[in-house]
Amino acid sequence: MSRESREREADDGADELPEYAERVLEVAELIPSGRVMTYGDVAEWLEQGGPRQVGRVMALYGGAVPWWRVVRADGVLLPGNELSALEHYREEGTPLRQAARSSEGHVPRIDMARARWDGSGHDHTP
């Protein structure tokens, strides 16, 4: 969703997004299909905030962007969103690896060594 679309949604009754949130969401939209950035990677890219701040933005506002591309550094899928995220990862060809058996069965993790995107080819001014 473009910045203009998010602003139109804000104009339709929702509060305007805080500037930091807007910047985090813009980075999420830059991440190519099949690739991921960690919460910390996004904060580092923006040179502002940290993983917790990025996580908070994604929890509050991330539904309008490819939220599944902003992940934990260990590659573990977000509790409560595993199935939805996994569907996106498989559709996009995101590299996965098998996790150890848990009470939920074998839940894959993101193969961070292969899936992590460093922002190559994009300007650092989202």
Query: What pLDDT is stored for residue 98 in this prediction?
Result: 83
Q: What is 3-115's CATH number?
A: 1.10.10.10
* Domain residue extents for the chain: 3-115
Which of 57, 22, 52, 27 shows the shortest CA–CA distance to 40? 52
Mean pLDDT value across residues 105-115? 88
One-letter amino acid of 21: A
Query: What pLDDT is stored for residue 8 in this prediction?
Result: 42
Provide the β-strand partners of residue 116. Answer: 36
Query: What pLDDT is stored for residue 47 in this prediction?
Result: 95
The better pLDDT of the pair 22, 79 is held by 22
Token pair of 2 as six digits: 């473009």
Query: What pLDDT is stored for residue 125 in this prediction?
Result: 56
Say if residues 1 and 81 touch (Cβ distance below 8 Å): no
What's the alpha-carbon Rg for the chain, to the nearest Å? Answer: 15
Helices (H) and strands (E) in the chain, counts: 6, 6
24-75 confidence digits (pLDDT tens): 999 999 999 999 999 999 999 999 999 999 999 999 999 999 999 999 999 9
Between CA 59 and CA 72 the distance in angstroms is 13
Provide the β-strand partners of residue 109. Answer: 97
Residue 96, φ and ψ in degrees, nearest 5: -125, 160
CA 70 to chain centre: 2
The better pLDDT of the pair 55, 78 is held by 55
Would the pTM of this model clear 0.85, i.e. be above it? no
